[in-house]
Amino acid sequence: MLAKYVIAVVTILGVLAGWVLVQHLARLFARRHPEFGPLREEGAGCGTWCGCSKSEQEACRRRTDEVEEKRHSMEELAGPAASRGP
Tell me the Cα Rg of the chain: 20
DSSP E strand stretches across the chain: none
Mean pLDDT, residues 3-8: 96
Q: In this model, does residue 13 exceed pLDDT 80?
A: yes
26: containing domain: 1-32
- Whether 86 and 48 map to the same domain: the answer is yes
Model's pTM, two decimal places? Answer: 0.48
pLDDT-derived band at 80 (thresholds 50, 70, 90) equals: low
- Whether 18 and 52 map to the same domain: the answer is no
pLDDT, tens digit, for every residue of 31-41? 998 888 777 77
- In contact, 38 and 30? CB cutoff 8 Å: yes
pLDDT, tens digit, for every residue of 42-69? 666 555 555 566 666 666 667 667 767 7
Spell out a b/e string for 44-76, using b for 16 or more CB atoms within 10 Å of the CB, else e.
ebbeeeeeeeeeeeeebeeeeeeeeeeeeeeee
- Whether 28 and 52 map to the same domain: the answer is no
